[in-house]
Amino acid sequence: MVAHHRYQRHQANRRTISANITDMIKMSILGLTLDTVLALSIAGQPTKPDEQPVIIRLDVNLTLLHAAVIDRTGQFVAGLAKTNFQLFVDETSRPITVFEPDDAPVAAGILVDNSASMTTKGSHVIAASLAFARACNPQDEMFVVHFSDQARLGLPPDKPFTGSISELETALLAFTAEGTTALYDAVAMAISHLRETRLERKVLLIISDGGDNSSHENLATVLQMAQKTGVIIYCIGIYDDENRDRKPRVLTEFSEVTGGRAFFPMELKDVTGACIKIATDIRRQYTLGFEGQEDGEYHRIKITAQSQSHGDLRVRTRAGYFAPRP
């Protein structure tokens, strides 16, 4: 009977340790970078005065990636396991330490071009942006940035984010078509604004009909800001044939570098469909994590996926990341 009670206490202690380690793993997933000293006091077990408590130290530089998997027909592939993926950093295989297939909430910014050339397109853009918001996760934190020759936030100063469709609609209706296009300044403002969210996943949706012609920031600087924060940028370019300022290459580069997508609808009525596709893309992504370097350098990333039941698969994620300094 005494041995039986000892066994029960031993099993209870093991469950306590397991629960604590599980909490630590959750913390590492949510906190991204941990330098944690965690003392575990085992319930029900006496500790002698000269004994040291059990100490587990985690020094984890965790980098998270968000990846969409697409089959040969262009359809999203769900239901894959961690074993279906391989991750490479600078062409060297790295172990995947975190794997989550769930639709986690995102912080999403909608960047709307308000330049003078958008005068006849405003109603279509607002309707498409609202369709995007309705198709997203109800727990998403969203905001609006309007930009012409200057960038400005659409929500009130005391409300950095919202999940309310009516509040987003009010923010989008503040659309005023005039002036030139400060696209890079708008992206820089949105990336800085994303620092206020506690959500790990960050997304920007840019809707514009022209290239930048009045920003203080430059493309290289803003691209580096996006890479360092891990934001995914989706773009919709709605160009007129006579538009001399159109630069589809810029929108394509924003998307390719950050792991997003760029759409160039032929007609305004197709903008809503593109927005819904982007929302679907965001909700069907896998999250993968690995322990990265601490050298302050830029490192290239590649993820591959294989599945016998789906054939050849293509994985879309960001092109690389900037490692933190030691």
pLDDT in tens, 69-124: 999 988 889 899 999 999 999 999 999 999 988 788 999 999 999 999 898 999 99
Distance CA 96, CA 83 (A): 9
What is the number of other CB atoms lying within 10 angstroms of the CB of residue 82? 13
Residue 35 has pLDDT above 80, yes or no: no
Lowest mean pLDDT among 2-11, 121-130, 147-156, 310-319: 2-11
What is the number of other CB atoms lying within 10 angstroms of the CB of residue 72? 10
pLDDT in tens, 188-246: 999 999 999 999 899 999 999 878 999 999 999 999 999 999 999 999 999 876 766 67
Which residue, among 223, 245, 246, has the nearest Cα to 233 in the 3D structure?
Answer: 223
Residue 4 has pLDDT above 70, yes or no: no
Distance CA 259, CA 253 (A): 10
pLDDT in tens, 49-61: 455 554 443 445 8
Residue type, position 188, single letter = A
pLDDT in tens, 250-288: 999 999 999 999 999 999 999 999 999 999 999 999 999
State the DSSP string of 264-309: --SSGGGHHHHHHHHHHHHHT-EEEEEE---SS-EEEEEEEEEETT
The predicted pLDDT at position 248 comes to 86
pLDDT in tens, 131-161: 999 999 889 999 999 999 999 999 999 999 9
Local confidence band at 294 (pLDDT 50, 70, 90 cut-offs): confident
**What is the CATH architecture of 106-283?**
3-Layer(aba) Sandwich (3.40)
**What is the residue extent of each domain of the chain?**
106-283
Across 290-313, average pLDDT? 91
Which residue, among 60, 205, 61, has the nearest Cα to 131 in the 3D structure?
Answer: 205
Distance CA 254, CA 198 (A): 23
Cα 90 vs. chain centroid, distance in angstroms?
21
